[in-house]
Amino acid sequence: MKSRWYAGVVSLMMTAMLTPAWAQKFDEERMQRDIAVAENVLSTLIKQQISNRGTFFPLEVKGSYQSGYGVTFTLPADYTTPMVWTDGNGSTTITFGSGGNYNSMQYSNDANGNNVYVGGENDLEEEEDSPVLPPDPDDADRFKLITKENKKRNNDMDSVRDAYNAKVIEAAKTFILDYGDMIAQLQPTERVVVSNQGNNPRVWVNQFFNAPNRTHLSVEGLKSDITAFRTGKITRDQALAKLKVVNTETVEEVAPDLELLASIFSRLYSPDLSKTYFTEDNIYFERLKDFGVIYYMQAYSGIERERDSRRYIMPTLGLNDVDQATRDKKAKELYPKFETELKDNIVEYGRTLKSLKDDEVLVFQVKITRCNKCDIPSSLEYTLKASVLKDFNAGKIDRNAVLSKFTVKKGNNQ
């Protein structure tokens, strides 16, 4: 009896010692605090990389956590794909904008052909030859910026953009290795990601003026590798080598099969065919060099009958006049089926893609219908390697095997 009592005490002591290591209660408030601090750190690091003259422009970084995946920090696309204006004589202005706030920085080439920062919009004096836009909206050169004569030298817009993106990547690497560990509750298999892929693609790029191709930037590090570096188990060079870095751009010429898949999904989720959420817009996609293809989709559950009426039509359910509460209730009920069917449709129709290389990926980014206090994600992202789809199409693996190979990332719950 005594030995059994002793064994029981030892067992309880061991349980008390081990519990904090693997079964700590997740602290949502602590996670949000850590993310808020990390957002500020990343924003500051990028500003320090970009500006060598203390000219700080507004930069909003948004972080979100998904259990099992990790924390993703998203940069506004207007910063990572800045609008670049040139006068054709060597002086280039990069305009960064978000939320109505815009700032400009000017670069020129020195005698050795290197990009040199020559001033921000606030550095310029009020002179007649300060930057102005031609007043005539029909002027063919209305998007060309007139700058000071002594700053007009030949400059390559793409090289300026690439130099900017390189600085963002360096800042992201520094952030992940030196500050990623501050997000204390991340599990070893979860990751810290810095990306410029938000939910609202800049569909107008190159439609209204000749701008550089949209870029796709992503830097990703595993929490286990970050911890190993912090504790001295691996060197900085080894830790840098373990980071996954994507730096690519859109391709203007796309294969017909990519356009066909966009058309298929636009039809699948049209109001008269879908039984869950629907889309009113065509599915937009971007072909990214040596990366793959990203499809963007806005999913709706209903259409407001009149502006601010809070009365809705839900075409996929055959409902023509429901109130906000009913609409939200139905939207919440439809979400699980929408998520499952979307995944199945990606497998079924994604296997028709032939133009993707084996190591490239098929990505679907979906902005989910707004639903107040419904506890459903605000966005959904599915990623699958092209080689998996090709193996499925060839009969080498079954559907369940394909479904298990998805990488899933969800936005914050609504």
Tell me what pLDDT residue 157 has.
63
Q: Say if pTM beats, i.e. exceeds, 0.75.
A: no
Integer Rg of the chain from CA: 25
Confidence at residue 162, expressed as pLDDT on a 0 to 100 scale: 81
What pLDDT sits at residue 261? 97
User: By C-alpha distance, which of 216, 224, 218 is closest to 244?
Assistant: 218
Share of the chain above pLDDT 70, in %: 69
Q: SS in 3 state form for 16-57?
A: HHHHHHHCCCCCHHHHHHHHHHHHHHHHHHHHHHHCCCCCCC
Pairing label, strands 215-222, 191-195: antiparallel
In the chain the first and final C-alpha atoms are separated, in Å, by: 55
Cα 161 to chain centroid distance, Å, stands at 18
Best CA proximity match to 382, nearest among 367, 399, 401, 363 = 363
- Strand ranges of the sheet holding 407-410, from the earlier edge strand across to the other edge: 284-288, 292-298, 361-367, 379-385, 407-410
Is it the case that residue 20 has pLDDT exceeding 70?
A: no
Longest dimension (CA), the chain: 98
Flag the least confident range among 96-105, 121-130, 296-305. Answer: 121-130
DSSP letter (8 states) at residue 182: G
- For the stretch 167-219, pLDDT in tens is 999 999 999 999 999 999 999 999 999 998 754 544 444 444 445 567 889 99
What pLDDT shows up at residue 125? 38
Instruction: With CA atoms as reference, report the closest residue to 79 among 169, 198, 196.
Output: 196
What was the pLDDT predicted at 73? 95
Across the chain, mean pLDDT equals: 78
* pLDDT band of 67, cuts 50, 70, 90: confident
